[in-house]
Amino acid sequence: MGPLIPNGVIPYEWDSVLAILIGIAFGFVLESSGFSSSRKLAGVFYGYDFAVLKVFFTAAVVASIGLYYMDYLGYIRVAELYVQPTYLWGGIVGGAIMGVGFVAAGFCPGTALTSVAIGKIDAMVYVVGIMIGVFIFAEFYTLFQPLYEGSFLGNITVVDSFGVNPYWFIFILTIAAILAFYLTDLLGKKIKKVFY
């Protein structure tokens, strides 16, 4: 019964080993999908390349279907999985700041790391930038604290807070993903290509 390490099926010592192996797979897939290229990533915001939307949305749908299917079959209990806490305004404001950073730099932290791995200097500068951002946040923590700790709603999922059936929710999410893929492909044909 999963999750394996929290339930003691695999000894805790494997945690760090798995972290490296999972990281290798994660980095490999991101790089091979073209996420080490900021110009490819930024394409999602200008409509010349929707790879970010396709990879990201496909992954989220596959993962949620898989996890809930494994829960249904009894291999894992979704209730035991880590759900990050929801801080309403923290999530909105933090996300908005990240959105501006994303389109300014063309990277998010995970994709930038794979880009650092293949020697792109702009990605290295970007990672330094992130560390400066973390430093600014920590040094002015008292200013950010009300936003960081306010509007706490708990470690909630859509099932807890809206009482929706998770299977229907995932089904609708999947349909939304397929629609988004179809519509962006239509849109992509009308937009001038950018080669990089």
Partner 1 sequence: MKNIEQNKHIYWNPYFGGFLLGLIVIFTFYTTGRGLGASGAMKSGVVAVVETVAPTHAANNAYYSKFISEDKSPLNTWLVFEVLGMLIGGMISGGLSGRIGLRVQHSPKITSRRRLYFALGGGALFGIGAQIARGCTSGAALSGMSVLSVGGFITTIAIFGTGYIAAYFFRKNWI
Cβ at position 75, least distance to partner 1 in Å: 7
Q: 40 to each of 92, 104, 105, 159, how far by Cα in Å?
A: 25, 14, 12, 35
Q: Does 118 bind partner 1 (CB under 8 A)?
A: yes
# of chain residues touching partner 1 (CB under 8 A): 137
Cβ at position 172, least distance to partner 1 in Å: 12
Contact (CB, 8 A) for 13 and 99: no
Q: Does 103 bind partner 1 (CB under 8 A)?
A: yes
Angle at alpha carbon of residue 112, lines to 187 and 13, rounded to 5°: 120
The mark string for 58-87 relative to partner 1 (x by CB under 8 A, - otherwise) is xxxxxxx-xx--x----xx-x-xxxxxxxx
Cβ at position 176, least distance to partner 1 in Å: 12
The sign of the dihedral angle between the CA atoms of 160, 164, 169, 172 is negative
Q: Does 188 bind partner 1 (CB under 8 A)?
A: no
Of the pair 39, 175, the CB lying nearest partner 1 is at 39
Paired strand residues for 66? none
Residue whose tokens read 């700041």 = 97
Residue whose tokens read 């009308």 = 190
Cβ at position 85, least distance to partner 1 in Å: 7
- Scan residues 138-177 and list those touching partner 1 (CB under 8 A): 138-139, 141-142, 144-145, 147-148, 153, 155-161, 166, 169-170
Tokens of residue 143, six digits: 């200013």
